[in-house]
Structure 1
Amino acid sequence: MYKKVLVVEDEERMREIVSDYLRVSGFEVFEAGDGKMAMEIFEENQFDIVILDIMIPELDGWSVCKRIRKQSDIPIIMLTARSDEDDKLMGFELGADEYVTKPFSPKVLVARVKTLLKRIDGTIRSEEQAVNIEGIEVNKKSHIVKVDNKVVELSPKEYQLLCYMMENKGVVLSRENILNKVWGYDYFADSRVVDTHIKKLRKKLGHKSQYIRTLIRVGYKFEVN
């Protein structure tokens, strides 16, 4: 079955080029030229990933990302003409998984899409289907996370981050190591991205967040007393 992609970009020529490359690569593509249209299409279909430009009319990319995150943990790749790290951190705060700065190669964008989907699928298909540590339960077959038997909604990156830390219980993980393993070796970003996701993950884990320890100037460790 084809993976379904929603491409949200107001520059028609750019949208067509990206969509054509995705279709040639075997994706089923839906297109939207503004934020309002994007939400209408998103709510009527089931997608595997969203490619979302920030500067779009009606509803901007920030607003669309925020609304999608209230409904789904679908992977989101944001496009921007600005390379400001604060903009990227804002996107990650809202739940974006990847960031691509314009101008970019459509081939590279497609590769990023494939890598992100493959990484998420690989995490879900891990050999061990379920892990339960002190009330934090991760079912890798269904991609469901529970805290004290209550389902917790995590974004794809938050899910991968939690899995990676639980799989390395008791091991000190530097920010660079986490970036490489969760975001990929080809991903270049400020290590504050890790701090942002750790903060969001801790909030969702509630009192269980105590198991994620911060080691000043070193990194993080998932540790159970």
Structure 2
Amino acid sequence: LLRRVTLRDEPVELSPREFALLCALLMPPGVTRSRQELLRMAWPPHSGGPRSVDTQVLTLRRKLEQAGLGREGSVVQTVRQQGYRFSLDCLNRQAMETSLHKSGVVAGSS
């Protein structure tokens, strides 16, 4: 089984746990998942607790940001007192910005 994440044709190096967490957040994207749900979906039974999820989310955010996807937690969002979700809004906004940049249109110009 090949597990690979690429962004703009460049590989994004993720640990097996980070990859599992990303998959859990993407199925389906935009849905808020509690820490307990993420533990069940991305961790082996009886390994780790809610703080493990927080730590892995932080690491995943940093790696995605370093790869050029979002900034300051905009891709993997914290939903207060509920959990985390993968933001489609960020992806749509970045796709629009990329499209405008490629076409030579600069936001705010007339």
The two structures share one fold, judged by TM-score above 0.5: yes
Distance 1:149 1:181, change over 3 A: same
In the alignment, which residue of structure 1 is the partner of 2:76? 212
Q: Which amino acid aligns with 2:11?
A: V
Q: Which is bigger in relative contact order (C-alpha 8 A, separation at least 6)? A: 2
Unpaired runs of 5+ residues, structure 1, are 1-123, 125-141
SS in 1 for 2:5: strand
Give the drift of 1:158.
0.5
Q: Distance in 2 between matches of 1:208 and 1:194?
A: 20
| Runs (4+) off by over 6 Å | none
Counterpart-to-counterpart distance in 1, 2:75 and 2:48: 26
Match of 1:190 among 37, 44, 49: 49
CA distance in 2, matches of 1:156, 1:176: 19
Whichever of the two has the greater Rg, that structure is: 1
1:180/1:187 contact within 8 Å kept = no
Q: Please, what is the CA RMSD of the aligned residues?
A: 1.5
Between Structure 1 and Structure 2, the one with more strand by share is 1
The count of residues paired between Structure 1 and Structure 2 equals 84
**Normalising by the residue count of structure 2, what TM-score does the alignment of the two structures yield?**
0.69
For structure 2, the 5+ residue unaligned runs are 90-110
CA deviation vs aligned residue, 1:41-63 (integer Å, no higher than 9, x gap): xxxxxxxxxxxxxxxxxxxxxxx
Identity %: 33
TM-score with structure 1 length normalisation? Answer: 0.35
Q: Name the CA distance, whole Å, in 1 between partners of 2:34 and 2:12.
A: 26
